[in-house]
């Protein structure tokens, strides 16, 4: 069954109309649906990456498409974007069977694996460049795919999601999996500190798990993102763990005072601070496109080094704010002409 949907998005300066398709497949006796976005630039002659974008608990595929605004990047970069739909729990809310408080009966890993195969049959999908991201419960599910479907998923990103105890104890990827985590310290839904009652791990413990699994350097390079929008009441730090197996990285965006939101989203969520200093969707795609199923596809030079090649160093200061010349201090900050700052700690 195929339906053509006309989605119209309004903003003060732009009216955008775009056709997408809502389709269904049968898996494990259930009819499962998904919203597929195929950019105008798609050609069946070219092998194309695929991004799975998973909605949060009680949300749906269409809402996730609009909220994350990932389709705008698909238009520019030319990848296929699919928004699968979860099933409904006993309370009537859409969800992913991510392993929260034990694995339920719905086979969502199998469904998403089947969906990848189905789309690869219909389109010229590069099966070495399939990625998964998601919001909240969709982030939890992306971690489950990293644990159980690493033979198909080249990298994952979780926004406001986490891992739970059952995922942690049963996780057994077949290989290294590049991971990005984006999370606010004031998230009141998926607590930054975790929840023993819900068996949700603290975010920093999740990051540490993947740093260890990928055998990345344990000490990150920490960069404070420019606080370009002070009205969002939060600011971001970037933690980069490098030199993992096959070039795998772990990246963590810690949103100081950020809420249960998708950074860069134009739609505000009541009672939450949505960081507007960067676009989560843009950062996620920049992260994804470096990898295929075998690891880093470019050279293994540091992402930070690549970034700094485009920025000019204008000064360095030590812990007391004094200007320094060269790396003469065990702790110092480099300041660049675009307003970004990188923190350096020399461990002897």
- Best CA proximity match to 145, nearest among 194, 111, 182, 191: 111
Residues 316, 306 within the same domain? no
Domain extent at residue 275: 2-310
Task: Count up the domains in the chain and report the number.
Answer: 2
What is the predicted pLDDT for the residue at 316? 77
Residues 333, 240 within the same domain? no
Q: Is 230 exposed, middle or buried (0-12, 13-18, 19+ CB in 10 A)?
A: exposed
Give the whole-angstrom CA distance, residue 19 versus residue 223.
39
Q: Binning pLDDT at 50, 70 and 90, where does residue 84 land?
A: very high
What is the predicted pLDDT for the residue at 221? 98
Mean pLDDT value across residues 61-77 = 96
What is the predicted pLDDT for the residue at 303? 43
Residues 323, 188 within the same domain? no
Give the whole-angstrom CA distance, residue 109 versus residue 215.
26
Say yes or no to pLDDT of 161 above 70: yes
Residues 83, 94 within the same domain? yes
Q: Binning pLDDT at 50, 70 and 90, where does residue 270 land?
A: confident
Q: For the segment 244-263, what is each residue's pLDDT rounded down to a tens digit?
A: 999 999 999 999 999 999 99
What is the predicted pLDDT for the residue at 298? 67
Residues 155, 216 within the same domain? yes
Residues 202, 238 within the same domain? yes
Q: Binning pLDDT at 50, 70 and 90, where does residue 325 land?
A: low
The model's pTM: 0.82
Q: Binning pLDDT at 50, 70 and 90, where does residue 158 land?
A: very high
What is the predicted pLDDT for the residue at 17? 34
Residues 257, 329 within the same domain? no
Give the whole-angstrom CA distance, residue 136 versus residue 118.
26
Residues 6+ apart with CB under 8 A from 299: none
What is the predicted pLDDT for the residue at 53? 98
What is the predicted pLDDT for the residue at 342? 61
The CATH number linked to 181 is 3.40.50.1820
How large a percentage of the chain has pLDDT more than 70?
Answer: 82
Mean pLDDT value across residues 153-173 = 95
What is the predicted pLDDT for the residue at 304? 43
What is the predicted pLDDT for the residue at 343? 57
Q: For the segment 94-152, what is each residue's pLDDT rounded down to a tens digit?
A: 999 998 755 678 999 999 999 999 999 999 999 999 999 999 999 999 999 999 999 99
Residues 332, 196 within the same domain? no
Angle between helices 108-122 and 137-148 (to 10 degrees): 80
Q: For the segment 273-310, what is each residue's pLDDT rounded down to a tens digit?
A: 999 999 999 999 999 999 999 999 964 444 444 444 45
Residues 294, 341 within the same domain? no
Residues 195, 62 within the same domain? yes
With H, G, I as helix, E, B as strand and everything else as coil, classify residue 281. helix
- Best CA proximity match to 341, nearest among 242, 226, 257, 254: 226
Residues 236, 302 within the same domain? yes
Residues 319, 214 within the same domain? no
Q: For the segment 2-58, what is each residue's pLDDT rounded down to a tens digit?
A: 333 333 333 332 323 345 899 999 999 999 999 999 999 999 999 999 999 999 999
């Amino acid at each position: 069954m195929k339906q053509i949907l006309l989605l119209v998005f309004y903003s003060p300066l732009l009216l955008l109309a775009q056709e997408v398709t809502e389709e269904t497949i049968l898996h494990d006796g259930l009819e499962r649906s998904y919203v597929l976005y195929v950019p105008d630039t798609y050609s069946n002659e070219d092998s194309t990456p695929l991004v799975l974008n998973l909605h949060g608990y009680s949300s749906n595929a269409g809402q996730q498409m609009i909220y994350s605004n990932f389709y705008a990047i698909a238009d520019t970069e030319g990848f296929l974007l699919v928004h699968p739909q979860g099933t409904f729990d006993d309370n009537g809310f859409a969800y992913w069977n991510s392993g929260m408080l034990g694995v339920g009966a719905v086979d969502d890993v199998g469904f998403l694996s089947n969906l990848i195969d189905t789309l690869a049959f219909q389109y010229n999908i590069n099966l070495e460049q399939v990625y998964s991201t998601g919001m909240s419960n969709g982030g939890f599910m992306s971690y489950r795919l990293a644990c159980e479907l690493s033979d198909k998923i080249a990298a994952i990103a979780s926004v406001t999601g986490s891992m739970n105890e059952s995922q942690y104890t049963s996780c057994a990827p077949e290989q290294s999996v590049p991971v990005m985590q984006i999370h606010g310290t004031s998230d009141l839904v998926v607590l930054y500190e975790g929840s023993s009652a819900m068996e949700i791990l603290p975010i920093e413990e999740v990051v540490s798990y993947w740093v260890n699994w990928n055998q990345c350097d344990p000490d990150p390079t920490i960069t404070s993102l420019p606080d370009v929008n002070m009205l969002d009441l939060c600011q971001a730090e970037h933690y980069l763990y490098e030199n993992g197996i096959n070039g795998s990285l772990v990246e963590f965006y810690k949103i100081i005072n950020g809420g249960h939101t998708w950074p860069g989203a134009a739609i505000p969520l009541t009672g939450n601070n949505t960081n507007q200093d960067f676009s989560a969707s843009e950062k996620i795609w920049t992260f994804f496109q470096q990898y295929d199923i075998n690891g880093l596809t470019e050279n293994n030079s540091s992402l930070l080094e690549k970034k700094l090649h485009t920025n000019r160093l204008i000064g360095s200061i030590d812990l007391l704010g004094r200007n320094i010349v060269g790396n003469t201090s065990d702790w110092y900050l480099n300041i660049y002409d675009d307003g970004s700052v990188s923190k350096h700690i020399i461990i002897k």
